[in-house]
Amino acid sequence: MTAAHYVEGDELRDKLWLQVRTVLMEEWDPIGVCSEPNATNEYDSYIPKVMAILRSESGVEALMDYLDWVATARMGFTSQRERSRFAAESLCKLAK
């Protein structure tokens, strides 16, 4: 985790949580807020589901589908499957 993505209380988070946050902010970031210091925890509400998918070993497709659903259904953006795939592949590597 980079210092740029630190939020007070992060010392209580586990390593995987912080790594997932970094991937969501730096590789997925559908809103485009990665460089905004006050937006560090913008995607934290999606981390529990991402971690559940990682723990279930459902794979890249399941993570990509979830991230794309969040970006389209929850945020109202046009599908960005390649961006979601790129982030999902990075997330899957974290779980190994």
Q: What is the pTM of this model?
A: 0.84
- Tell me which residue of 55, 50, 48, 56 sits closest to 13, measured CA to CA: 48
User: What 8-state DSSP symbol labels residue 28?
Assistant: I
d(CA 68, CA 79): 6
pLDDT tens-digit profile, the chain (96 residues)? 444 555 555 555 678 888 999 999 999 999 999 999 889 889 999 999 999 999 898 999 999 999 999 999 999 999 999 999 999 999 999 877
Output the pLDDT for position 18: 87
